[in-house]
Every structure is written in C-alpha cells, then in structure tokens.
Structure 1
Amino acid sequence: MNYWLMKSEPAAFSIDDLKNAPDQTDHWDGVRNYQARNMMRDAMRKGDQIFFYHSNCKVPGIVGLMKVVHEGYPDHTAFDPKAKYFDEKSDPANPRWYMVDVKYIRHTKRVISLSELKEYAVLKNMPLVRKGNRLSIMPVSADEWRFILSLEKKTG
C-alpha cells in the first residue's frame, strides 16, 4: 500500500464535502500539474491511504483521512467547455488529465497544522514541509504516515 497527501482549498472542496457526498465518495478532479497527474495516473492504487489537507485557509493542515477506491482515469472535466477545469488542448482520444475516486475514512482528531509538521526533524524530507513545494498531491512514506497519525494524540 502507498500513502499520499492531497491538498484542497476548503472553499472549493472540503473534508466535509467528501463526508457528505453520496457513499462518502467523490472524484478528485481539476488537477492540472503534470507531476501530480502522473501520480494519480501511474502510481495511486485502490486501497492506498491519503491524508486530506486543507490549503489556502486560516490554519492549513491535515484534517482527515481518505482512501483510493478507483484508480486513475481520464478527468472528464477537461473535455467540458462549461466546466471550471476545461482544457481545450485535452483530447478524449488522448487524455491529458487524470483523476482518482476517493472515499472518506474519518476526520483527524484535530487539525495537524503545517506549522506543527515543520517542527519535526523526522518530517524534514517530506515534500509538504520543504520550501517551494506547491504540489497538490505528494507521496508520504510509511514512517511519515505513522508519525503524523501519532500526532493526533498531542494537543495542538
């Protein structure tokens, strides 16, 4: 099994939106970065665990857990001229963008903030805490995953 972190702005799509979706499942669309696309298309597998991270908000941080329930497939929003993530250069015969389906597992016991994550040397190689990394999807090692889950028990 692989572990991941996926960012979303809560005003656009939040952990609560996923929890309230039918079957607590939704597609993760609108990714328009080739490196993140490649992870969804080539590396994410059914059952992989994911941290749901709220970005561009008052307290950015990990707010929940979800899992991959459908592996990468073409992002249909790229083909729809009325869609927010339309890409006129994307062709259904040769799709440029991909998405996965994710299912809500649970909220974290508390928000594990970015500022807190930056405090721990054990996480220094995690792409999230490195300067200049703006990817919306990133791998998380098994050790990082376990350590971050252990932080839920700590108070803010």
Structure 2
Amino acid sequence: MAKLPSYFGNFPYPPAEKKPLHLTADRFKMFIYTGNKPYASDLNYLLASTDKMTTGIYQLAPGSNFDPADIHAGDEVYYVLEGEVHLLNPETGQTERMGAGDSILIPKGVPHRGYNFSDKAAVILFCIAPRIWDENGPPTGYSGPTRLFKSERRAS
C-alpha cells in the first residue's frame, strides 16, 4: 500500500482544532485515486477529512473506471449527483448500476471498483467513517480473483 497522505484526518484542520467551518469550493483539496495509474483513476475533491470521517466528491470520466479496487477502513456511502456509475465487488461479482439520486452503503473492508460506461461524466458524493484508509494508505492492488456473474442468453 502507498503511504497515507498527511491531509487525510487533518483537513481542513487537525482534530485538536475542530470548529464549525464553512467549506467553500476554493478550499477543497484535489487528488487522484490512484496517482500511479492516471489512465484508470478518478478525480477527487476532498471536502473534509477528520479523525472521524472523510467526505468528498469524485468524478469518473466517460468510459473510465478506477483500478485497483478500493477497500476502506470504514463504512462508505455513495450518493450519485450526476451521470451513472456501475459498482463491482470483485470478491462476490455483485454489481450495482446507479444513477443520479441513487445511493449505496459499502461496508468496511468490502472491495469495490467503479465504472462509467456512458458518454457523460459521473459525479459521486462520498462519505467514509470513521477512516478512509488505515495508516498505510490506499490499496495498490487487489490480490484476490475477480468474480463475475455469468449471463446466459436463452435461445428464441
């Protein structure tokens, strides 16, 4: 795993300095998941990351996905703001297609990959609690097999 960037758990201020704060777009921190594979990444805007939760917005470009599968140290909720995203759990083969206004709960430790098969950007709000990743940072790969549901077409 890559080292966890110092701003996770400390943005926009360290835990000891917590106070109400108006979060404006000009203060959001931008990062790419994962920076080592920009061709298979998503663009993220970190709204806030404390010792208790991380919230942000990520974008998947048309026809893109993020790889490796992400695995979090806390529960995650997605809320689709724009477009459409398909999520895959590579351990089980479960897939979910979500459009604007849909949400999903991804429990702690469940690997997931996001795909955008459309010709429009997908924009997703996420919140992870209590922690986005452990101190080692985001995963650099998924070591298990990827399971896919088999689809059988019936003869007419």
Structure with higher Rg: it is: 2
Q: TM-score, normalised by structure 2?
A: 0.29
The structure in which a higher percent of residues are helix is: 1
**TM-score, with structure 1 as normaliser:** 0.29
